Structure 1
Amino acid sequence: MKKDFEPIKPAKRTEKIEYAVRDIVLVAEEARRKGKELLFLNIGDPVQYDFRTPEPLIEATYQAMCENLTGYSASEGVDEAICAIRKEAEKKGIKPVDIFITTGASEAIDFALTALVNEGENVLVPYPGYPLYTAILAKLCAFPNPYYLDEENAWQPDLADIEAKVNDKTRAIVIINPNNPTGAVYSEETLRGIIEIARKHQLVIFADEIYDKLVFDGKKHISIAALDPEVPVVTFNGLSKCYLAPGFRIGWGIVSGPWEVVKDFTEAIHKLARARLSTSHPKQYAIPVALNGNQVHIDEAIKKLERRRDLTVKMLNEIPGISCVKPEGAFYAFPRIDVPGVSDIEFVKELIAETGVVVVHGSGFGQKPGTAHFRVVFLPPEDILEKAYERIKDFMQKFLAKRGLKAA
């Protein structure tokens, strides 16, 4: 007798995996079906707007394919790319002891967390911060240990909160600098404070620097690994953001610190890299072209983004019930909803349904209890941003009036 399959039960490790940036698209599609014109301020993909991947990166990849460099590469990456990454790291003051190339910075982060963290352990992660870290930790049956960024201090990490959150199961501190979703760029004082906490508690620092060249107003980005070569740090970067090539899925990790301290951990990372064979072979040849080549596209991108950042901050701060700290880097802002008792998720869902402006709820990135935020991406051209913020302004007036509420 033929027996029907029972529904397949997914692994419990997947239950807590959420990714707000993508999940909100389902809400947007419902709004589209109801006839709303969608304005996308939710995805941090420059080429979805008016940015283009630099031609030399495309040409380098095409040339590699023409030369039949389409088989597996060495698991850690090709020599030319590793040498370029090493040279770039040294220019920033980092002393690499190992470099590994991955399928996007996301895979480098996955490898580093998987190589370090055991079931039941925890990692200090910023709230707000990029949700990939909590998703990977859920997969590992480990735990995010949230520390808060201080909105009153330009979204700098709260060092006292980090110190207070460390326990005997804590293995590492994640920093995202420049930060996604706030656009904060961390000061040297803050970074040195994090180093001291890591040293005191024997923690690895995971430094996500994927936006390191997109810094505004003439400010300079500081790599935390450059401030102390004796502290174990894994620095993550890639081609997706600064080099406008997110679809290339090319990233890397740079391990620094005393070799005797990091060698076993580094070998564990390489075991994982070997198990997946290699990342895309031909696209690795875009790395030396990107890092060693003309950087004009970055200057052009910064000029565009500064104008769009300024427009974003001005228009959002003019809306009753919304306040926005000025971002110093990347291409995100994290405005606050200054309305008592409002759920950020319900606010965002209603905003999308009523206006078609697609943003992401702040709780998808983590936020202090009792606060509500949403993330906007200011990559679109100014006319699109103006239209979106005008819609948000009109929506906010109706939102408050309908509930008999007043802004804080």
Structure 2
Amino acid sequence: MIDKVREEGQYQGSTPLKVAGKMAFPPIRPARRTERIEYAVRDIVVTAEEAARRGKELLFLNIGDPIQYDFFTPRPIVEAACKAMLENLTGYSASAGVDEAIEAIRREARRAGIEPVDIFITTGASEAIDFALTALVNSGDNVLVPYPGYPLYTAILAKLEAEPNPYYLREEAGWQPDPEEIEAKVNERTRAIVLINPNNPTGAVFSREVLLAIAEIARRHRLVILSDEIYDKLVFDGDRHHSIAALAPDVPVVTFNGLSKCYLAPGFRIGWGIVSGPAEVVSDYIEAIHKLARARLSTSHPKQYAIPVALEGDQSHLPAVLEKLRRRRDLTYKMLNEIPGISCVKPRGAFYAFPRIEIPGVSDREFVRELILETGVVVVHGSGFGEVPGTAHFRVVFLPPEEVLERAYTRLAEFAERFFRRRGLTV
């Protein structure tokens, strides 16, 4: 009977009535919390698709996925995951992760000088970041986030109806944070300080002195530090990466890492969080994180068995990866700085550069959109990562082979000359 009533458009429960022979269903209004969510790295794909429809050859310098270029996941890591699947380890795991993987992460943390209080394994470092923020902030709270910085943090804060409280990395100082600015922005609703070190999108590696100063701010104001260290082994020129949790064992820190970048397995979606600090201070926070982990059951079970192999097995892929990236970094730095109207701070880690458009009044969104549509060179506008007001940047990923980078930067140089000339701008 109910089916017949529905067919006749007479059912007035959750199903609307027919209007002019059609079902009248008003547009679904999305939640207000989604209005501020932007993700520039993926959003730029729409413009790239338009360029492809115009017949442009696309050169992708926008996605930080090594596997899209000429890098390969180390075979032992793949074999460890396959072996687990063949052994039928394909059911749910413990919500925080399998013991073998957790213990391997614990040993790796101790090698970096971190003493873990808790470890939780997640679907990529992204989920660890989501858990850490969701378990910490309430609507109206704020979190100090670096500008420029990875846009996931601001997207999650928007979802939580909390506020990003931006502090600006200093371009003139190699994109190092300014501890004095960070402290000046702390207020009664500030809950945490986010660090991305090595930094996406600038390639900066933060100095020990700066990290110690930030730890002191967290200590003084009783803030949690959320330290994203997913690129910790991708550091150039003899620089050293320092984990802030190792420098400040008395401060509550959540350190994020995973298999995506240094171990070239982004599609595995395996990451983790390491909670350190005084146990009595972080215990309730840890339980809140674990509530969230239990609610989603578990991350991918078999792929967790790749973690011990990655962290404690053959590391011979790393020198080769670093040498490739160093050459591509050097080419990027040289060619970008040869373009009139463009300047670039030398990246010290990761695989990103964040060049500046030196002409005042130029919109980076407009520059990037026209660049993609005219040349097919796909980069991301700097305002999608946050930047000092009045400045304009764009992010490039220097993962592609050198011949691809050379072609891309040559097209970029030719475009920049046309772009500035069309606007009557003097370079």
Scaled by the length of structure 1, the TM-score of the pair is: 0.99
Corresponding residue of 2:343: 323
Percentage of pairs with the same residue: 77
Is 1:173 the counterpart of 2:188 in the alignment?
no
- Report how far residue 158 of structure 1 moved: 1.3
Matched letter for residue 172 of structure 2: E
Corresponding residue of 1:242: 262
Q: How does 1:289-308 map to 2 (within 5 A)?
A: 289-308=309-328
Offset from partner CA, 1:13-64 (integer Å, 9 cap, x none) = 0000000000000000000000000000000000000000000011000100
3-state SS, counterpart of residue 136 of structure 1: helix
Q: How does 1:47-126 map to 2 (within 5 A)?
A: 47-126=67-146
Offset from partner CA, 1:185-240 (integer Å, 9 cap, x none) = 00000000100110111100000000000000121111000002100000000000
Runs of 4+ in 1 over 2 A off after TM superposition: none
Matched letter for residue 380 of structure 1: P
Query: In structure 1, how many angstroms separate the alpha carbons of the residues matched to 2:159 and 2:251?
Result: 27
Choose the corresponding residue for 1:42, options 55, 62, 65: 62
Corresponding residue of 1:355: 375
- Report how far residue 160 of structure 1 moved: 1.5
Query: In structure 2, how many angstroms separate the alpha carbons of the residues matched to 1:64 and 1:205?
Result: 35
Corresponding residue of 1:333: 353
Query: In structure 1, how many angstroms separate the alpha carbons of the residues matched to 2:167 and 2:181?
Result: 6
For the pair shown, which has the larger CA radius of gyration, 1 or 2? Answer: 2
3-state SS, counterpart of residue 96 of structure 1: coil
Choose the corresponding residue for 1:224, options 215, 219, 244: 244
Query: In structure 1, how many angstroms separate the alpha carbons of the residues matched to 2:101 and 2:358?
Result: 47
Matched letter for residue 30 of structure 1: E
Choose the corresponding residue for 1:394, options 388, 408, 414: 414
Query: In structure 2, how many angstroms separate the alpha carbons of the residues matched to 1:246 and 1:338?
Result: 34
Matched letter for residue 412 of structure 2: I
Corresponding residue of 1:381: 401
Structure 2 regions of 5+ residues with no counterpart?
A: 1-8, 10-16, 19-23
3-state SS, counterpart of residue 234 of structure 1: strand
Query: In structure 2, how many angstroms separate the alpha carbons of the residues matched to 1:365 and 1:100?
Result: 27
Query: In structure 2, how many angstroms separate the alpha carbons of the residues matched to 1:280 and 1:359?
Result: 32
3-state SS, counterpart of residue 322 of structure 2: helix
Query: In structure 2, how many angstroms separate the alpha carbons of the residues matched to 1:340 and 1:275?
Result: 49
Query: In structure 1, how many angstroms separate the alpha carbons of the residues matched to 2:423 and 2:157?
Result: 39
RMSD: 0.5
Offset from partner CA, 1:52-82 (integer Å, 9 cap, x none) = 0000011000100010000000000000000
Query: In structure 2, how many angstroms separate the alpha carbons of the residues matched to 1:261 and 1:325?
Result: 39
Choose the corresponding residue for 1:278, options 278, 298, 306: 298
Offset from partner CA, 1:169-200 (integer Å, 9 cap, x none) = 00000000000000000000000010011011
3-state SS, counterpart of residue 157 of structure 1: coil
Is 1:199 the counterpart of 2:219 in the alignment?
yes
Is 1:186 the counterpart of 2:186 in the alignment?
no
- Report how far residue 401 of structure 1 moved: 1.1
Matched letter for residue 164 of structure 1: A
Query: In structure 1, how many angstroms separate the alpha carbons of the residues matched to 2:185 and 2:321?
Result: 38
Query: In structure 2, how many angstroms separate the alpha carbons of the residues matched to 1:219 and 1:124?
Result: 26
Matched letter for residue 331 of structure 1: F
Matched letter for residue 376 of structure 1: V
Query: In structure 1, how many angstroms separate the alpha carbons of the residues matched to 2:325 and 2:426?
Result: 32
Query: In structure 1, how many angstroms separate the alpha carbons of the residues matched to 2:248 and 2:346?
Result: 29
Choose the corresponding residue for 1:129, options 146, 149, 156: 149
Corresponding residue of 1:264: 284
- Report how far residue 5 of structure 1 moved: 1.1
Matched letter for residue 381 of structure 2: H
Query: In structure 2, how many angstroms separate the alpha carbons of the residues matched to 1:329 and 1:224?
Result: 17
Is 1:140 the counterpart of 2:160 in the alignment?
yes
3-state SS, counterpart of residue 290 of structure 1: helix
Is 1:252 the counterpart of 2:262 in the alignment?
no
Scaled by the length of structure 2, the TM-score of the pair is: 0.95
3-state SS, counterpart of residue 156 of structure 1: coil
3-state SS, counterpart of residue 404 of structure 1: coil
Query: In structure 2, how many angstroms separate the alpha carbons of the residues matched to 1:115 and 1:228?
Result: 22
Offset from partner CA, 1:140-184 (integer Å, 9 cap, x none) = 000100000000000000111111111100000000000000000
Query: In structure 1, how many angstroms separate the alpha carbons of the residues matched to 2:183 and 2:288?
Result: 28
Aligned residues: 407
Query: In structure 1, how many angstroms separate the alpha carbons of the residues matched to 2:399 and 2:207?
Result: 25
Structure 1 regions of 5+ residues with no counterpart?
A: none
Offset from partner CA, 1:260-317 (integer Å, 9 cap, x none) = 0000000000000000000000000000000001111111100000000000000000
